[in-house]
Amino acid sequence: MDLGAYRPVLANRDTRSALVLGFLIRVPMWAGAVILTLHVVSSLGRSYGEAGLVTAASTVAVAVSGPWRGRLLDRIGLRRTVGPSLVVQAVCWSIAPWVGYAPLIGFAALAGLFVVPTFSILRQVIIRSVPTEQRRTALSLDSSATELSFMAGPAIGVWLATSWDTGWALLVCELTSVAAGFVLWLVNPRLTSDTDAVGEQVALDGVGEAGRAEAVAGAVEPDDAPPARAIRGFITVPVAAVYLAAACSTLVLSGTDVSIVAALRSFQATGSIGWVLALWGAGSLVGGLLYGAWHRSFSVFWLLGGLAATTAPVALAVGVPSFAVLITVSGFLCAPTITATVEQLSRQVPERFRGEMMGWHGSAMTAGSAVGAPVAGFAIDHGGWPWGFVVVSALGVVIAVAGMVGSRASRGARAGAGSEAPDEGRVGTPTRGGSADSEHGASAANIGH
């Protein structure tokens, strides 16, 4: 482990700017999410269940928009993608705080469809701006900055909602997010290092869908392996497996979130929820920083298995002190697992598809969160709070083991086919890192959510 690995990453101006801008964008985003719930409950006089429906409408819309917005980033660039989003966001959140419950759901959903894909944009900038060997370290810093913003944002949101009228608090937070998005539009950071991406895409379009699929598959395989068949566009079986791992990781995390609340209520320590969640986030922050300084990467399935395995023992807690220790330990692999999914995808998917890749990544994580909370809730209702941790942990272990076995079998099958099959259907010289690696060579390949 070498903490000095962070020095060259932080010395990179583009990476440093993306990290700072990402933190400033995400803090009002997390704060606005909390204020929206409090606004529905306190100002509109609705139940928490009804507040959850507003959040669900926004979440589903964001999940649906992820691949679409990412595809736009790849095809038309940052400014033409973000510009209309800023207009829709400004209009929606200027009106939404002053309307009734039903219109609020509509405005929240519309804003979700046109949300500025900040996670995708900033992670693409970070990936593009550092050499391949610094990719894990840079993405770990981004995950750690996200944890910091998540720890700060909700606290600020609660303070604003209790100090001001919730309508004004919601307006200020959401328009602050719009202003941060405008800064992103103004800066217009470069997302890819491949200046020939457009011409390459035109060439691929000319060979038809079948040829395009073979070209995409071949571009992400090592030189000694036959190309994998794409399921759709750039999505091969290995890529789909990483998306499944990303979804399962947030399934475990969202289930853990619900189970924490249930456990502390059972211990009659509801007032401890805030600082216990902060400890969980701090564990993730430390784990992310350590993973970024580690000398090598790990398979996302090993990390997912570790995340699930360290979550299960929390069910053995007998009081708040032991619960706090176990939940902190369970947080260590949160950020590394998410980082590994992004890093692994960035190596498997050609650079020209990176916006859409990150969009699908966000949708996968959103889907996992949507499944994890009700699964844990069902387990808690029927067996008590410990079963919330046990069930999501078991699902995580099952997916992780299946992924390990499947990856090993896939590598064996490709190696066997490579010794017999002719090398057909490739475009150029494929590398593990895609077009970014081939452009900059072995010494410094730019990585370019």
Q: What is the pLDDT of residues 268-283, one digit of tens each?
A: 887 787 788 889 988 9
CB–CB of 191/125 below 8 Å? Answer: yes
Report pLDDT digits (tens) over 181-216. 999 899 888 887 754 444 344 333 443 444 444 333
What distances in angstroms separate CA 85 from CA 81, 82, 359, 416, one per listed residue? 7, 5, 15, 48
pLDDT at 52: 75
63 dihedral zone (left: phi>0; alpha: psi -120 to 50; beta)? alpha
Query: What residue spans in the chain does CATH classification 1.20.1250.20 cover?
Result: 1-191, 197-449
Percent of the chain with pLDDT over 70: 81
Identify which of 149, 151, 92 has the alpha carbon closest to the alpha carbon of residue 119: 149
Place of tokens 């699908």: 360
Tokens matching residue 370:
């949507």
Report pLDDT digits (tens) over 43-62. 898 887 788 788 888 888 88
Q: Is the per-residue pLDDT at 219 higher than 60?
A: no
pLDDT at 295: 72
Tokens matching residue 310:
């360290």
Average predicted confidence (pLDDT) for the chain: 79
The whole-model pTM stands at 0.73
Report pLDDT digits (tens) over 67-124. 888 888 888 888 999 999 999 999 999 999 999 999 999 999 999 999 888 888 888 8
pLDDT at 418: 53
Task: Label residue 377 by pLDDT band (50, 70, 90).
Answer: confident
- Rounded average pLDDT over 241-260: 91
Q: Is the per-residue pLDDT at 417 higher than 60?
A: no
Place of tokens 């309508």: 167
Q: Is the per-residue pLDDT at 421 higher than 80?
A: no
Tokens matching residue 382:
């029927």
Lowest mean pLDDT among 99-108, 226-235, 368-377, 397-406: 226-235
Helix axes 334-348, 118-129, angle to 10 degrees: 70
- Rounded average pLDDT over 272-295: 86
Distance between CA atoms of residues 211 and 230, nearest Å: 10
Q: What phi, psi does 236 have (nearest 5°)?
A: -95, 175
Q: Is the per-residue pLDDT at 363 higher than 90?
A: no
pLDDT at 202: 39
Identify which of 344, 342, 348, 340 has the alpha carbon closest to the alpha carbon of residue 228: 348
- Rounded average pLDDT over 176-181: 91
Class level of CATH domain 1-191: mainly alpha
pLDDT at 294: 80
pLDDT at 143: 83
Superfamily for domain range 197-449: MFS general substrate transporter like domains (1.20.1250.20)
Chain CA centroid to CA 210, Å: 30
Q: Which residue has the higher pLDDT, 243 or 293?
A: 243
Q: Which residue has the higher pLDDT, 357 or 436?
A: 357
Task: Label residue 391 by pLDDT band (50, 70, 90).
Answer: very high
pLDDT at 83: 92
